Amino acid sequence: MSKQRRPLIAGNWKMNGLAGSAAPELQELVKRAGEHSDPACDILICPPATLIDKMAGLAKGSAVKIGGQDCHANESGAHTGDISAEMLKDTGADYCIVGHSERRADHGESNAVVKAKAEAALRAGLTAIVCVGETLAEREGDKTLDVISDQVRNSLPEGATAGNTVIAYEPVWAIGTGKTPTPEDVAVVHAHIRKELGSLMGDSEAVRVLYGGSVKGSNAAELMAVENVDGALVGGASLKASDFWPIVETSI
């Protein structure tokens, strides 16, 4: 982890959480963050869209920020069931995840679609977290770096800077499986991402690149110590403050 880049520990709640059970978990996280007068990392929770307004209210004035899990590329229109980046911003979000592998796989989102959504996030004043990652077949076929290059080059929004864009590397085969690549494997991919960013952005050295994929308290410190890893995008382990906080503590 680089001292020049402030770590970001982000929790993606995915399609989990009802107001009654989620509120106490966020309140506990806010309480723990409040015990540190100046946390050395940024803390983010991305709940379902139904909870953003409530969670933003609970987190207001604290070190915990709230984000969305996806957005539509358009500001408004006849898009039943979709949510625009402006709507996310209006409900209190500061970030938006785009291009998560579950969106790419389950909804057929191409790099072009991810790029358009990332540009929508920037348009609305949100920080875009652009996800990239290879499948098991791609890794076993020795295509990991080619896949990552393609996704970074073609998913990065126009106008991307270190201040408005974060990259999250999540090997698809590690998400929710309990499997993680070795620290050496993570280092190779993150260094490759950093190199790709260098050809695309003037302030590439300041861009935060997160690791995601079965991150938990027991392996977080080892992963966060890898060069060019600037934080984590956490799935299941972010649902409970007691599980998420040990991950935050590795960077705080």
Write down the pTM of the prediction. Answer: 0.97
Neighbours of 88 (CB within 10 A): 29
pLDDT of amino acid 1: 59
Q: Angle CA(152)–CA(154)–CA(155) in degrees, nearest 5?
A: 70
Active site residue 36: no
Average pLDDT, the chain: 96
Task: Place 3 in a pLDDT band, splitting at 50, 70 and 90.
Answer: low
Residues 93 and 44 sit within 8 Å (Cβ to Cβ) = no
Task: Place 2 in a pLDDT band, splitting at 50, 70 and 90.
Answer: low
Give the domain ranges of the chain: 8-249
β-strand partners of 44: 10, 65
Catalytic-role residue among 119, 170, 192, 196: 170
Active site residue 227: no
CA distance 39 to 196: 30
Please report the DSSP string for 17-58 in residue order. Answer: --HHHHHHHHHHHHHHHHTSSS-SSEEEEE--GGGHHHHHHH
Tell me the per-residue pLDDT of 86-134, one tens digit each, with 9 for 90 and over.
999 999 999 999 999 999 999 999 999 999 999 999 999 999 999 999 9
Catalytic-role residue among 72, 100, 190, 192: 100
Who's near 134: CB < 8 A, 6+ residues apart?
143, 144, 147, 148, 171, 172, 173
Q: 8-249 — its CATH code?
A: 3.20.20.70
CA distance 206 to 221: 21
Tell me the per-residue pLDDT of 34-91, one tens digit each, with 9 for 90 and over.
999 888 999 999 999 999 999 999 999 999 999 999 999 999 999 999 999 999 999 9
